[in-house]
Amino acid sequence: MSKPNFHAMSQKELHDYVFAHREDQEAFYAYVDKLHLEGNWIEMPPLQSEQDLENYPKFIERIRSSSEPRDGAV
């Protein structure tokens, strides 16, 4: 059986593939490489308490927007 082209997959497709094929290390490393290349994360120091989240409005906005339904999905 041939492997899919991990480089041609979107981040979401590769994420789904990795979760469905957890033993596939090649897919996992391709996913991590894609995350690193796209660099769409927000870096922040470790939190000391829940109240520390108030100091990171961009992070909170990203979490809120990513949890909203997309394409009219509910």
Residue with tokens 């120091």: 45
Neighbours of 68 (CB within 10 A): 7
> Do residues 11 and 34 touch, judged by C-beta distance below 8 A?
yes
Residue with tokens 């290390």: 25
Tens digits of per-residue pLDDT, 5-60? 999 999 999 999 999 999 999 999 999 999 888 877 767 778 888 888 788 787 78
Cα–Cα distance measured from residue 53 to residue 56, given in angstroms and rounded to the nearest whole number: 5
Q: To the nearest 10°, report the CA torsion of 65, 47, 22, 12.
A: 20
Tens digits of per-residue pLDDT, 49-68? 888 878 878 778 888 887 66
Q: Is 73 helix (H, G, I), strand (E, B) or coil?
A: coil
Cα–Cα distance measured from residue 23 to residue 41, given in angstroms and rounded to the nearest whole number: 25
Evaluate if pTM is beyond 0.75: no
